[in-house]
Amino acid sequence: MRNDRILGALVLIAGIVLYAATAHFPGAASNRPGPAFLPRVLAVLFAVSGFLLILYRKPTVNDASENQPRNRFKVVAMIAGLVLYSMIADTTGFLIAGGCLTFGFCSLLGNSWRVGLVVTVVLVPFIYTIFSTVLGVVLPVGWLGW
Amino acid sequence: MIADAFALVFQPSILLVMAVSGLYGLFVGSVPGLTATMAVALMVPFTFYMDPVPALAAIVTMEAMAIFAGDIPGALVRIPGTPSSAAYTDDAYALTQKGRAQSVLGVCLIFSVLGGLFGSVVLMIAAPLLATFALQFTSYEYFWLALLGLSCAALVAKGSPLKGAISLGIGLFLSTVGLDPVDGYARFTFGYSDLVGGVSFIPAMIGLFGLSEVIRNLLRSDVEIRIPQTERHGVLVEVFRLLGRRKKSLLRSASLGTGIGALPGAGADIAAWISFGVSKRCSDTPEEYGQGSLEGVGDATAANNSAVAGAWVPALVFGIPGDTVTAIAIGVLLMKGLQPGPAIFERQPELLYAVYIVFFLANLLLLPFGYLAILAGRRVVTMPRRILLPGILLFCVVGSFAINHSTFDIGVMIVMGLLGYYLEANEVPIGPIVLGLVLGPMIEHHFMNSLIKSQGSLAQFFTRPVAGVLGILCLVMWFYPFISYVRRWRKT
């Protein structure tokens, strides 16, 4: 969906908030501007761009498939799954948290539980092996101890 | 020196890295909806653990393969595998419907290889020449050059320049998060110690290009993919006939592609569009363009592959990326403590020669790998997305976590993914964000240093000849849209 009016308003507000956020930054020295200089230039850029976008907006375009509540639910559920993963991964470990995330996401995509199980059983140990064994990345260990 | 470079590249481990990343690039490019940039972003966590040469070899090979592979779904099912193939997808598909899929894919392969090789020759010749010149640059020239690159990225990027500027502003803003380069003051960290060092580059890239792609696929209702029947003769039968007639136009397209690729923000997709347009204008049969022109497809595909090498010229010489992929590659080099720029030509020339060799090798590897990809194309293109997406999502999660071993970075990836999706849905190009993120610290550093040197005088920014020319170019670029608007307004 394209909506220049909303995008322009958001960018305009971002410019104002950004400028206000630099109010407590240290001031300029005699031979150079201070740390607020670039953020303030950007704040002005955002404010002007947002204003111009609202002024010269194109007609709003709606995408039917994006507006389907079912598809939107999938995105919200996926983000919730990712947040949950980052909350429990340190406790349960990568294999359990990653397995739950993969199986849940497979179900969300409309795969049968059998396909979901196969994908999870193949994918999670595969990624664990690549990152942990080949690259030496320490993935969260958790309950299983490895 | 050249022998050292050959020794650096022709090691079994590096050749294996090139082969694996090439196959990965072919796979990602062939799957509709997955972009070459996403593939590079997901590959970055791996390159983080490699030495500079294999890391660059992996990125270069993967990109060259993915750009070609994007032609396969474009020709077979009219869905370009990467944005670079969009310019000639209609023509390629029209030829497929006429039963000439093998011919069109053969032309795409050979013209891509030739375009890529041409770009590699230009890179090898132009980069050292420019580097000798760039050695005399000071912070004034670098400031203007970086600003010129950013301005170019906003103005040349797809869609409206206003939206390009917004995207660039977001990238620059993200680059200000963390300690300020001169005073060490913590900006926009909101009390999070994870933000003191700035927004993590890799999770940001994975979010912008990987997670946003997953979101886009989730919101898209699945469409059944059908492939028309094709001719039974070999892939290369028509290629040599066409090559005999189109030597000059191939040279023109490859030169155009390399030149456009070197413009920051332009990239392979714009190179293909422009080359296709020029090809039509110069053709004896312009009426065939849009209805299935093999000539148009060949010219445009040569341009997009030559643009890949072109984008590395400003990246290696000035540290100014030519496109999103080179911006990510510069990010990788910076993480490894290597600052691209003229000094690298003096201090580590073997690394540069290794990059040239990698470019030639990647394009030569494209011949056998691409041929196999054409044969396997039908199966890959119709691979169900609901099996692929869980793998991509898990790679996004683990790739974001891997660099700093921090779940905070997964949060960064989620935020950037949502931002990337929202911006693209509103036709805001996300490439300039990467350029802003990479060039932001460079601009601020050189600007502050220049002011300190000149005791706060802005006049010094124009007194050195090269700096003056670059500065004027920059100002012309900013004010040209206003001047042309006023001119048009006065005429009407």
Share of residues in chain B with pLDDT > 70 (%): 94
Segment (H or E) for B107: helix B101-134
A33: region left, alpha or beta (phi > 0 left; psi from -120 to 50 alpha)? beta
Q: How many CB pairs under 8 A join A and B?
A: 153
Residue pLDDT, tens place only, B117-126: 999 999 998 8
Element (H, E) at B83: none
Is pLDDT at B157 greater than 70 in this prediction?
no
User: 3-class SS at B30?
Assistant: helix
pLDDT at site B119? 93
- Minimal Cα–Cα distance from B220 to chain A, Å? 6
Distance, CA of B229 to CA of B221 (rounded, Å): 25
**Among the ranges B36-40, B331-335, B425-429, which has the highest mean pLDDT value?**
B425-429
Determine the residue among B51, B162, B457 to mutate to test chain A binding: the one whose Cβ has the most chain A Cβ atoms within 10 Å.
Answer: B162
Whose CA is closest to B411, among B220, B155, B192?
Answer: B192
User: Of A59, A81, A97, at which residue does a domain stop?
Assistant: A59
Nearest Cα of chain B lies from the Cα of A143 at a distance, in angstroms, of 18
| Of A82 and B89, more confident | A82
Integer Cα distance of B52 and B40 in angstroms: 15
A73 vs B contacts (CB less than 8 Å) = none
Chain mean pLDDT for chain B: 84
Q: What average pLDDT does the segment B259-270 reach?
A: 76
**What pairing do the DSSP bridges indicate for beta strands B186-187 and B178-179?**
antiparallel
Asked whether residue A130 is domain-assigned, the answer is yes
Has residue A17 been placed in a domain?
A: yes
What's the mean pLDDT in B156-181? Answer: 86
Chain B residues 404-433 with a CB less than 8 Å from chain A: 405, 407, 410-411, 414, 418, 425-428
Per-residue pLDDT tens over the stretch B344-380: 777 888 888 898 999 999 999 999 999 988 888 777 7
Contact: A131, B398; criterion CB under 8 Å: yes
Largest CA distance in chain A: 69
Rg of chain A over all Cα atoms, to the nearest angstrom: 23
How many C-alpha atoms does B488 have within 13 Å on its Cβ side?
6
Phi, psi of A61 (to 5 degrees): -120, 130
| Of B397, B405, B426, Cβ closest to residue A85 | B397
Structure tokens at B106: 């053969």
Angle at B209 between CA B206 and CA B214, to 5 degrees: 95
- Asked whether the CA dihedral B481, B487, B490, B492 is positive or negative, the reply is negative
Instruction: Say yes or no for a CB contact (<8 Å) between B188 and A39.
Output: yes
Kindly state the percentage of chain A with pLDDT values over 70: 94
For residue B58, pLDDT beyond 70: yes
**Count of Cβ atoms closer than 10 Å to residue B464 Cβ:** 17
**How many structural domains is chain A composed of?**
2
The answer to whether B402 faces chain A, any CB pair under 8 Å, is: yes
Closest to B207 (Cα-Cα) out of B48, B438, B33, B433: B433
Q: Are residues A134 and A77 part of one domain? A: yes
Considering only A113-117, B154-158, B215-219, B259-263, which range has the smallest mean pLDDT?
A: B154-158
On whether both A74 and A145 belong to a single domain, the answer is yes
pLDDT of residue A18: 95
Does residue A64 sit within a domain? no
Give me the domain span that covers residue A51. Answer: 1-59
Nearest residue on chain B to A12, alpha-carbon basis? B166
3-state SS, residue B70: coil
* A102 → chain B, closest CA residue: B390
Nearest to B405 among A25, A124, A138 (CB): A138
Is the same domain home to A8 and A48?
Answer: yes
**Does A6 reside within a domain?**
yes
Last residue of one domain, picked from the residues A59, A82, A109:
A59
A87 and A138 assigned to the same domain: yes
Q: What is the pLDDT of residues B68-119, one digit of tens each?
A: 988 888 888 777 777 778 788 888 888 888 888 888 899 999 999 999 999 9
Task: Provide the β-strand partners of residue B178.
Answer: B187
> Quick check: B304 and B329 in contact, CB under 8 A?
no
Q: Residues 13..52 of A with a Cβ closer than 8 Å to B: which?
A: 18, 21, 25-26, 30-35, 38-39, 42, 45-46, 49-50, 52
- CB–CB contact A139 B182 (8 Å): no
Place of tokens 């750009």: B67
Dihedrals phi, psi of B178, to nearest 5 degrees: 110, -160
Q: Which helix (H) or strand (E) holds B333?
A: helix B324-335
Note whether residue A110 is domain-resident. yes
- Both A18 and A41 in one domain: the answer is yes
Q: Indicate if the pLDDT at residue A135 is higher than 90.
A: no
Count of other CB atoms within 10 angstroms of residue B179: 16
Specify whether A95 is located in the same domain as A128: yes
Amino acid at B20: V
Helix pair angle (B101-134, B89-97), 10° resolution:
160
What confidence score (pLDDT) does residue B225 get?
Answer: 54
A125: in domain:
yes
Closest CA to B28 of B430, B383, B399, B419: B383
- Name the amino acid, one letter, at B282: C
| Sequence-separated (6 or more) residues with CB below 8 Å from residue B193 | none
Q: What's the pLDDT score for residue B242?
A: 80
Please tell me whether residues A18 and A51 are part of one structural domain.
yes
Q: pLDDT: is B281 or B416 the higher one?
A: B416
The answer to whether residues A43 and A4 belong to one domain is yes
Q: Across residues B57-77, what is the average pLDDT?
A: 87
Q: Assess whether A53 and A73 both reside in one domain.
A: no
Number of helices and strands in chain B (H, E): 24, 2
Same domain for A10 and A42, yes or no, is: yes
Q: Which of A59, A88, A108 is the last residue of a domain?
A: A59
**Which band of pLDDT confidence, cut at 50, 70 and 90, is reported for residue B306?**
very high
**Complex ipTM above 0.90?**
yes
Indicate the range of A124-138, B144-158, B201-215, B441-455 predicted with least confidence: B144-158
Contacts of B81 (CB under 8 A, 6+ apart): B29, B30, B31, B32, B34, B66, B69, B70, B71, B72, B73, B74
Instruction: Determine which of A103-117, B14-28, B157-171, B351-365 has the lowest per-residue pLDDT on average.
Output: B157-171
Residue entry with tokens 């739950």: A100
**Separation in Å, CA A1 to CA A49, A117, B37, B209, B392:** 20, 34, 23, 18, 24
The residues near B208 (Cβ < 8 Å, ≥ 6 apart) are: B41, B416, B417, B419, B420, B430, B433, B434
What gap in Å lies between CA B234 and CA B256, rounded to an integer? 30
- Give the span between the Cα atoms of B420 and B167, in whole angstroms: 10
Q: Distance between CA B92 and CA B296 in Å, rounded? A: 9
Chain A contact for B458, CB < 8 A?
no
Contact criterion met (CB < 8 Å) for A53 and B163 = yes
Check if B173 contacts A (Cβ < 8 Å): yes
d(CA B324, CA B321): 7
Q: How far is A57 from chain B (nearest CA, A)?
A: 11
Residues A81, A127 within the same domain: yes
At B341, the pLDDT band (50, 70, 90 cuts) reads: confident
Query: Does residue B178 register a pLDDT over 80?
Result: yes
Average the pLDDT over B385-412 and give the result: 86
Residue A93 belongs to a domain: yes
The pLDDT value given to residue B229: 63
> Is the domain of A133 the same as that of A80?
yes
To the nearest whole angstrom, how far is the Cα of A77 from the nearest Cα of chain B? 11
* pLDDT, greater one: A8 or B146: A8
Nearest to B411 among A45, A86, A109 (CB): A86
